[in-house]
Chain A
Amino acid sequence: MNKLLEKKNPAKHIKSFGFLALLLLLPVIFTAVDFTYGITISCFVAIYVIAVSGIDIVFGYCGQISMGHAAFYAVGAYGSALLSSKLNIPIIISMFIAPVIAAILGALLAYPASKLVFHFLSLATIAFGEITYQLILQSPGGITGNAVGLATKKVNLFGFAFNTSFRFYYLALAFVLLLLAAKTNLVSSRVGRAFVAIRENTHAAEGMGVNARKYKVIAFATSAFFTAVAGSMYAHFVGYISPDTFTNKQSVLFITMLLFGGTASKPGPIIGAIAVLLLNEALRSMENMQMLVYGFLLLIVILLLPGGIFGMIKDLFYKYTHRGGKENAKS
């Protein structure tokens, strides 16, 4: 429903305030129950939420597939690590510059790729992902540390070092809130409507005055920015990056999370990231089963749960609230 015409709902404000309070207290709660590992997982959730929300913009809203987003994750991670270590740029700034570079790369890729239909767009993005991976594996002058990888510094803001999971959590939370707000603003605007129109019917969108190519490029660039921010967070949180993290498996993991959680929504990427990461933890003891499970997970979601978990919840909620009503509306 249209938010603009909705009356302000005080109950909603209280709910979101409570939610924020819970998020702020989460590390304290984890510490109190002596489960500090929960804070680390929460940090990873934050990182993935941002990356997957980025893919949601280009895939969920604009309908353009990318199977090479690990490349933008890599540009964010290596870009920020190298900018801060080689050029001595403060990390908090390099964490912004690297995603801008990723956005430019995304636009450069999307401009010629926007002509391609989905099948071939997926090939182009895979190729882009592989090329980026090979270039960090065998970089010119070994600047990325090649297979060995790079050690990265922690974020330090005005003398305060985000060097523990507890501290980093608050930085990550700030990033998540900021970027999700930006995403929400964007998708509910003229730009976001153009994205969805392109997804629903590119020809009609053009006929209604939407320059499809321009908006595909914008969606790709924005998406690349988000995923690269996540990459830079990863780099400065973990303290070490190597090519293994940036293979095409990472790209598929992002998409799995998105589909699992549900596309074209705010909660979808959050639910997807949490669910898949928790599953990951559950499967930690049998590591070589992990990818097998992802495969089945992805297949089951596509076959049986096309709206993801959030889509399913929405449907159930709809059925519940419209129970007995005459309206037999489509989902």
Chain B
Amino acid sequence: MTMFMQVFVSGLVIGCVYGLIALGYSLIYKASGMMSFVQGDLLTVGAFLGYTFYGLWKIPVAISFVMVFILMVLLGFGIERGIINRLVKKKTLPIYIVLATIAVSYILQNGAMYIWGSNMLTFPRLFSANSIKIFGVGVQPEALFCIVVSLIAMVILHIFMKYTKYGTAMRAASMDPMAARSCGINVSVSTGLTWGIAAAMASLAGMLIGPVYGVFTTLGATIGRKGFSSAVMGGYGNMYGAIVGGIILGLMETFTSGYISSAYKDLFAYIILLLFLFVKPTGIFNERAIME
């Protein structure tokens, strides 16, 4: 029971992180039909920024989080405006845009290494308690915090997209840019904002996983790649599918490595990714076909 509970919680932790990343992929895909390879490294940058504000400069945790969010929204917005949108305007082939996001991910990852160094940094604890007991099993409070905050963030995003003026505008812009433009919606700002929100989601994931995994330059790269598996599993472009896919992947990974063997843990996500792409590319939630 103890082991089960611990495996279950750590599965949820990484699952929520995959979910947040995949959520970003789905948002961006919905808003601009693009695939971004930057998400994973935005997670890394978010974790490093959180570490700097909270860990180094001792700014209170809530304020640190907000500062990171603001910076990351600007960063995401800037990437879209400064690079992606430019390429779209030049009618660059979509595959070059994908490659451009890879270039940005290299710059972020290695820029982070240049600034913060290549050693693993310890993200300071968020809570004083070492563990809290659930069903008699001790669990790291940061782990619970990660799960709870991720779920709250997902709900807030859902409310934002569904019930606020901005959310409606963003959804409209992604569904039919022409019609949205004629309704007075600034489509380009809304697309940029989507990238910004996706970046903030990634940085949140980074600050939540930082205290559990530590902060290092390749933290996000692997998570980012595996996040694609979650997004495809849930149905690429489907926000709810992204979360479900993330949690399923997280649980499957931790349970296989906990109970069977950890040797092929990293293989898992990619086999699922290939299987879904080849056999059921529309994912669990049957999002519109992603085939030619």
Q: Which residues of B contact A306 (CB under 8 A)?
A: 92, 96
Give Cα A130–Cα B270 distance, bound, in whole angstroms: 7
Q: Which residues of A contact B96 (CB under 8 A)?
A: 302, 306
* Cβ A134 vs Cβ B264 within 8 A: yes
Q: Which residues of A contact B266 (CB under 8 A)?
A: 130, 134
Quick one: which of B99, B105, B229 contacts A302, CB cutoff 8 A? B99
Q: Which residues of B contact A134 (CB under 8 A)?
A: 264, 266-267, 270
Q: Which residues of A contact B83 (CB under 8 A)?
A: 299, 303
Q: Which residues of B contact A170 (CB under 8 A)?
A: none
Instruction: Answer whether A299 and B267 are a contact pair too, CB < 8 Å, given A117-B291, A124-B274.
Output: no
Question: Could you tell me the distance in whole angstroms from the C-beta of A254 to the nearest C-beta in chain B?
Answer: 12
Q: Which of A105-135 contact B (CB under 8 A)?
A: 112-113, 115-120, 122-124, 126-128, 130-131, 134-135
Q: Which residues of A contact B212 (CB under 8 A)?
A: none
| Chain B residue at smallest Cβ distance from A288 | B113
Interface majority SS on B: helix, strand, loop or mixed? Answer: helix
Asked if B16 is an interface residue, CB under 8 A from chain A, the answer is: no
| Chain B residue at smallest Cβ distance from A290 | B110
| Chain A residue at smallest Cβ distance from B292 | A117
Asked if B181 is an interface residue, CB under 8 A from chain A, the answer is: no
* Cβ A120 vs Cβ B290 within 8 A: yes
Asked if B127 is an interface residue, CB under 8 A from chain A, the answer is: no
Q: Which residues of A contact B100 (CB under 8 A)?
A: 298-299, 302-303
Specify which of B95, B113, B225 lies most central, judged by the most chain A CB atoms within 10 Å of its CB: B95
Give Cα A134–Cα B111 distance, bound, in whole angstroms: 27
* Cβ B98 vs Cβ A119 within 8 A: yes
Asked if A160 is an interface residue, CB under 8 A from chain B, the answer is: no
Asked if A138 is an interface residue, CB under 8 A from chain B, the answer is: yes
Q: Which of A281-296 contact B (CB under 8 A)?
A: 288-289, 291-292, 294-296
Give Cα A298–Cα B266 distance, bound, in whole angstroms: 28
Asked if A65 is an interface residue, CB under 8 A from chain B, the answer is: yes
Q: Which residues of B contact A299 (CB under 8 A)?
A: 83, 100, 103-104, 107
Asked if B144 is an interface residue, CB under 8 A from chain A, the answer is: no
Asked if A259 is an interface residue, CB under 8 A from chain B, the answer is: yes
Give Cα A219–Cα B158 distance, bound, in whole angstroms: 43
| Chain B residue at smallest Cβ distance from A120 | B290
Q: Which residues of B contact A296 (CB under 8 A)?
A: 103, 107
Asked if A83 is an interface residue, CB under 8 A from chain B, the answer is: no
* Cβ B109 vs Cβ A123 within 8 A: no
Give Cα A48–Cα B228 distance, bound, in whole angstroms: 29
| Chain A residue at smallest Cβ distance from B268 | A134
Asked if B47 is an interface residue, CB under 8 A from chain A, the answer is: no
Q: Count residues of B near A (Cβ-Cβ below 8 Å).
A: 43
Question: Could you tell me the distance in whole angstroms from the C-beta of B286 to the nearest C-beta in chain A?
Answer: 16
* Cβ B277 vs Cβ A120 within 8 A: yes
Q: Which residues of B contact A122 (CB under 8 A)?
A: 35, 95, 98
* Cβ A288 vs Cβ B94 within 8 A: no
| Chain B residue at smallest Cβ distance from A59 | B95
Give Cα A294–Cα B107 distance, bound, in whole angstroms: 8
* Cβ A292 vs Cβ B99 within 8 A: no
Q: Which residues of A contact B77 (CB under 8 A)?
A: none
Instruction: Answer whether A123 and B92 are a contact pair too, CB < 8 Å, given A291-B109, A294-B106, A303-B83.
Output: no
* Cβ A302 vs Cβ B87 within 8 A: yes
* Cβ A298 vs Cβ B114 within 8 A: no
Question: Could you tell me the distance in whole angstroms from the C-beta of A248 to the nearest C-beta in chain B?
Answer: 8
Contact with A along B214-255 (1 / 0, CB 8 A): 000000000001001100100010000000000000000000
* Cβ A116 vs Cβ B274 within 8 A: no
Question: Could you tell me the distance in whole angstroms from the C-beta of B158 to the nearest C-beta in chain A?
Answer: 25
* Cβ A202 vs Cβ B292 within 8 A: yes
Asked if B271 is an interface residue, CB under 8 A from chain A, the answer is: yes
Q: Which residues of B contact A63 (CB under 8 A)?
A: 95
Q: Which residues of B contact A288 (CB under 8 A)?
A: 110, 113-114, 118
Give Cα A252–Cα B229 distance, bound, in whole angstroms: 20
Q: Which residues of B contact A138 (CB under 8 A)?
A: 263-264
| Chain A residue at smallest Cβ distance from B261 | A138
Give Cα A324–Cα B118 distance, bound, in whole angstroms: 56
Give Cα A193–Cα B107 distance, bound, in whole angstroms: 37
Asked if B162 is an interface residue, CB under 8 A from chain A, the answer is: no
Question: Could you tell me the distance in whole angstroms from the C-beta of B120 to the nearest C-beta in chain A?
Answer: 15
* Cβ A116 vs Cβ B292 within 8 A: yes
* Cβ A118 vs Cβ B113 within 8 A: no
Q: Which residues of B contact A259 (CB under 8 A)?
A: 99
Asked if A45 is an interface residue, CB under 8 A from chain B, the answer is: no
Q: Which of B102-135 contact A (CB under 8 A)?
A: 102-107, 109-111, 113-114, 118
Give Cα A268–Cα B77 distance, bound, in whole angstroms: 34
| Chain B residue at smallest Cβ distance from A296 | B107
Give Cα A292–Cα B105 distance, bound, in whole angstroms: 10
* Cβ B292 vs Cβ A289 within 8 A: no
Quick one: which of B114, B229, B270 contacts A289, CB cutoff 8 A? B114
16 other A-B residue contacts (CB within 8 Å) besides A113-B278, A118-B94, A306-B92: A120-B232, A120-B277, A120-B290, A123-B277, A127-B274, A130-B225, A130-B266, A134-B266, A288-B114, A288-B118, A292-B110, A295-B104, A295-B105, A296-B103, A299-B83, A303-B86
7 A-B residue contacts at CB 8 Å?
A: A63-B95, A117-B290, A120-B236, A127-B271, A130-B266, A292-B111, A302-B92
